[in-house]
Amino acid sequence: MVQRIYVGSTDDFMMWRAVDALGPIAHPRVLVVDDYPAGADALQLLLEQEGFEACSTGDARAAYALAEQWRPFAIVIDIAMPGVTGFELARRFRVGALTRDMLLVAFTARGSREDIVRAFEAGFDGYCVKPLAPVRLLTLLQSVAGRSEP
């Protein structure tokens, strides 16, 4: 039986799609894509402290190749990045044979209704507005990975 995960919404977090729990993942990997190094490093450290294998990149163009090679189960993506936006990157992930089923979570300071709609249309599974209470993101990731909650 497949367990469905749904986290609903709050002022700073929302999920549009119910997501299948993947079951226990021996090495749960999460890729963080954010052009702000301090933010990416902080999120990576938090994820690692919670038992995830985490990797971050500030280069949206390199993120797709990294995801194909490293195969994370989830990718947390900043929306406003130079060159390739998080929206464009999400669309690329959704059409890739190796990346289409990865959990995509927008992680951004942009909280306008227009940005949220664009994220949904681009293929994100969830949307987090910075600053975020990390427990919400961790709860989602741990639930999908089949781990106990924080």
pLDDT surpassing 90 at residue 47: yes
In a domain, 4, yes or no: no
Domain that holds residue 34: 26-144
Could you say which DSSP state residue 27 is in?
S
Instruction: Out of 13-22, 34-43, 124-133, pick the least confident.
Output: 13-22
What is the mean predicted confidence (pLDDT) over 124-142?
82
CATH number, domain with residue 122: 3.40.50.2300
Query: How far is 134 from 64, CA to CA, in rounded Å?
Result: 25
Q: What total of structural domains would you count in the chain?
A: 1
In a domain, 119, yes or no: yes
In a domain, 69, yes or no: yes
What's this model's pTM, rounded to 2 decimal places?
0.86
Nearest 5°: the CA angle 51, 62, 38 is 55
Which of 53, 28, 46 minimizes the C-alpha distance to 143?
28
Query: How far is 6 from 4, CA to CA, in rounded Å?
Result: 7
